[in-house]
Amino acid sequence: MKIVVLAGGTSTERAISIVSGTKVCEALRSKGHAAILIDVFCGREDLDLEHAFSAEYDLAEAVSYMESFNDKIEQMQAEGHSFFGPKVLDACRAADVVFLALHGVCGEDGRIQATFDLLDIPYTGSGSLGSALAMDKALSKQLFRENGVPTPAGVILKKEEARPTAESCGVGLPCVVKAACGGSSVGVYVVQTEEEFAKALEDCFALEDKVVIEAYIKGREFSVGVVEGKAYPIIEIAPLVGFYDYKNKYQAGSTIETCPAELSEELTAKMQKIAEDAFDALKLSNYGRIDFMMDENHQMYCLEANTLPGMTPTSLLPQEAAALGMGFEDLCETLIQVSMRNRK
């Protein structure tokens, strides 16, 4: 198949997206596909659509070209550049499918998905509605509650509202403060004091206009991939220091990851069922990843969903697939086939 792997973009997760896109493109080409890597925002002025999907392709050069824009993104945005870079949509129309290796805002929030739906461009991952619901942690929390999916107690605070204390908003200390639509744990703070709470609010509101404040759950952290509504093996995430923040996610050796997680059959089945329920509650389709905390009493709490999880061989979803005996290349192929099969 002719495949555009779309990566990069303008979010705080641009660098991680480029890594995901590179690995996915490499894997798909190893499976015999004519896959090319394109930056959704920066595009490629010199792209020759007539020969773009030929066997001759320099992936390393494509990555270098994308990375050359890394320190220019804010300036390009300020200058009013279109979100879809030069020849991006033309390339996507020419492809059989677009593999979305984007992360964060303008990638996972449903806007690209809605555009592709209008243009009748096939793509991987959830549709526009599920993507938008999952991206907004405030909406996710509301839908979890309405559908019986256990989630930490919490409140939503808007930028224009008066600033409460942790105690006055009913959550207490310690607690978690996070930007409603952030990704890769950017804009997530575990706070111990009222001073830290006030600072976390200001930092989050510097990123966006809505913040989620929720109870801190002390315990073990897990993630569960869900593909076509069926849960994959559970992975446990144990940071050596702190919580699973941006540094612990992407700095080698900072986190111990165990898959399958060391849980009883009963607890495994329970968490997988909740993951599937969360997937359904957010109207997700094709694949995603659901994050959990479990306290000392084995109470499980669904934190959020990732609709386009990281896609390097050492990312969480590929590790879960490996526990099923599925290599990274086969997983990439599976995610395409699942998305094509369920396309409406």
Active site residue 30: no
Place of tokens 């896959």: 35
Count Cβ atoms below 10 Å from residue 304 Cβ, excluding itself: 21
Place of tokens 């894997």: 27
The separation between the first and the last C-alpha atoms of the chain, rounded to the nearest angstrom, is 19
One-letter amino acid at 320 equals E
Active site residue 80: no
Give Cα separations from 266 to 41, 99, 232, 270 (angstroms). Answer: 46, 35, 15, 6
Cis peptide before 174 (omega within 30 of 0): yes
Residue of 11, 20, 131, 184 marked active site: 184
Residue of 26, 214, 304, 333 marked active site: 304
Angle (CA) 225-226-232 rounded to 5° is 60
User: Does an H or E element contain 332, and which?
Assistant: helix 328-341
Rounded Cα–Cα distance for residues 262 and 283 (Å) = 29
Residue of 244, 250, 287, 301 marked active site: 250
Active site residue 291: yes
The SS3 call for residue 220 is strand
- Cβ atoms of 131 and 89 closer than 8 Å: no
Cis peptide before 260 (omega within 30 of 0): yes
Rounded Cα–Cα distance for residues 33 and 340 (Å) = 15
Rounded Cα–Cα distance for residues 44 and 86 (Å) = 6
Count Cβ atoms below 10 Å from residue 50 Cβ, excluding itself: 8
Residue of 291, 320, 333, 339 marked active site: 291
Active site residue 289: yes
Residue of 9, 277, 310, 320 marked active site: 310
Residue of 8, 9, 13, 333 marked active site: 13
The partner residues of 131 in beta bridges, in order of sequence, read none
Active site residue 79: no
Residue of 11, 306, 315, 339 marked active site: 306
271-291: b (≥16 Cβ within 10 Å) or e: bbebbbbbbbbbbbbbbbbbb
Residue of 14, 29, 220, 289 marked active site: 289
**Catalytic residue positions, numbered:** 13, 184, 250, 289, 291, 304, 306, 310
